Amino acid sequence: MTQEYETSGLNLLAAPELTRHPQPTYRMLRESSPVMRVDGIGVLVSTWDLVDKVLHEPELYSSALTSGILKNDRPLIPLQIDPPEHGKFRKILDPLFAPKRMKSLETSIATLVDQLIDGFIDRAEIDFAKEFSVPFPTQVFLTMLGLPLDELPELLAMKDGIIRPHEVVGEPLGHPETDAYQAATAASIYEYFTKTLEDRKAVPRDDLLSWFLEAEIDGDRLTGDEILDICFLFLIAGLDTVSASLDCFFSYLAQDPQLREVIASDPARIPFVVEELLRWETPVMAVAREAKEDTELGGCPIKAGEQVLALIGSANTDEDNARDAGAVRFDRKVNRHFGFGGGVHRCLGSHLARLELRTALRLWHERIPDYHIKPGVELDFTPGVRAVQTFPMILHEARE
């Protein structure tokens, strides 16, 4: 069944209750309008089978979007590159983010977690977003790229200027001031990494930027522009999605004392908790593709050039994907989900993200097993990528 919506699609997807608790809306869409054309967005698909089709047919549903909404000069690599060229970049980049290489970062990541917790563990109340979920993955990013930690505010400002320029400027998306600010931010990202890469060429280090400069597979190497395009993507993806995951995870855990006790008493369960919360909460609600030719999807005609938005959060909670998909279960031995996307464009940094999330859950619950959202507060999540700007949290141990 296809349904037409004339209201602003952006407003539809930004509704506070949807971003806070999206699962009921996902279910409604799957049952009533699994394919839905929305003014201002394109076509939304919400079932597992339809999302799976969009993600696994890059020859028909392109990731090389032409909208330029992030004001980047060239496609972001490897996200906005389709096969066969996409394979060249993954061949070079995948080994740099292989599980074994990411495992070597575990000690330094654990140190960052402990240092952040040290800064607030004796207090009764904190802002979880400002004091943990935002600075933690940002510091991991800085450490991996060999950048000084005192550059954290500058990188966060660049990330927000690209992803949420409307919140910085105070004008809606598409407003001339918002567009101008986003474009200026994009230019500053290219300028920042151009200078940093020149420094690495002069004095190589054992960090990710130096690896990019030196990486070679079967004679293929990355050009300077290609490395810039990779860095642009890493800045916005590496800083925002893990923060959003932590916001979603801890807002759920803060309301479930029994689960917190399980995590604290049996850390071996943490990998299963991470996978189930990635499935249930799905911090990145949707991914966009563009139809390369006229086609149809679930009986809905799709025109060439039309945007298709695959609601991966809805697919993850579809009963056709998993038994009891509408329930949260931490005993799933096999947990198939699109938390990191799917198909050839599956998230390059998934192994790193898992390591960050598992380490954060383990060390946090070793030291702070009891906490909750400040009474009277209802968290507001941003649309698209479900992050919060502020997260007032009460630490019980600090009051004892």
Q: For residue 107, what pLDDT is reported? A: 94
Name the band, by pLDDT with cuts 50, 70 and 90, for residue 239.
Answer: confident
* Pairing state between β 300-302 and 392-395: unpaired
User: Is the model's pLDDT at 398 over the cut of 50?
Assistant: no
Name the band, by pLDDT with cuts 50, 70 and 90, for residue 217.
Answer: confident
User: Is the model's pLDDT at 183 over the cut of 90?
Assistant: yes
Q: For residue 68, what pLDDT is reported? A: 62
Q: What is the mean pLDDT of the chain?
A: 90
Looking at the structure of the chain, the number of domains it has is: 1
Q: For residue 306, what pLDDT is reported? A: 93
Q: Are 339 and 357 within 8 A, CB to CB?
A: no
Q: Are 330 and 275 within 8 A, CB to CB?
A: no
Q: Measure CA of the first residue to CA of the last residue in the chain; give whole Å.
A: 56
We report the CATH number of the domain holding residue 363 as 1.10.630.10
Q: For residue 10, what pLDDT is reported? A: 47
Name the band, by pLDDT with cuts 50, 70 and 90, for residue 14.
Answer: low
What lies within 8 Å, CB to CB, of 388 at 6+ separation is: 129, 133, 247, 251, 379, 380, 381, 382
Mean pLDDT: which of 7-16, 134-143, 233-242 is highest?
134-143
| Tens digit of each residue's pLDDT (9 = 90 or more) over 53-63 | 999 999 999 99
Q: For residue 140, what pLDDT is reported? A: 92
With a pLDDT cut of 70, the percent of the chain lying above it is 95
| Tens digit of each residue's pLDDT (9 = 90 or more) over 293-349 | 999 999 999 999 999 999 999 999 999 998 899 999 998 989 999 999 999 999 999
Residue 28 CA to residue 23 CA, distance in Å, equals 9
Q: For residue 11, what pLDDT is reported? A: 53
Model confidence, pTM: 0.92
Query: In whole angstroms, what separates CA 124 from the centre of its chain?
Result: 30
Q: For residue 3, what pLDDT is reported? A: 45
Residue 26 CA to residue 320 CA, distance in Å, equals 13
Range of the domain at 369: 2-399
Long-range contacts of 106-113 (CB under 8 A, 24+ apart): 106/355, 106/359, 108/143, 109/140, 109/355, 109/356, 109/359, 110/359, 110/363, 112/136, 112/139, 112/140, 112/143, 113/359, 113/360, 113/363, 113/364
Name the band, by pLDDT with cuts 50, 70 and 90, for residue 240.
Answer: confident
| Tens digit of each residue's pLDDT (9 = 90 or more) over 135-149 | 999 999 888 888 888
Phi, psi torsion values for 217, nearest 5 degrees? -130, 120
Q: For residue 66, what pLDDT is reported? A: 57
Higher pLDDT, 206 or 318: 318
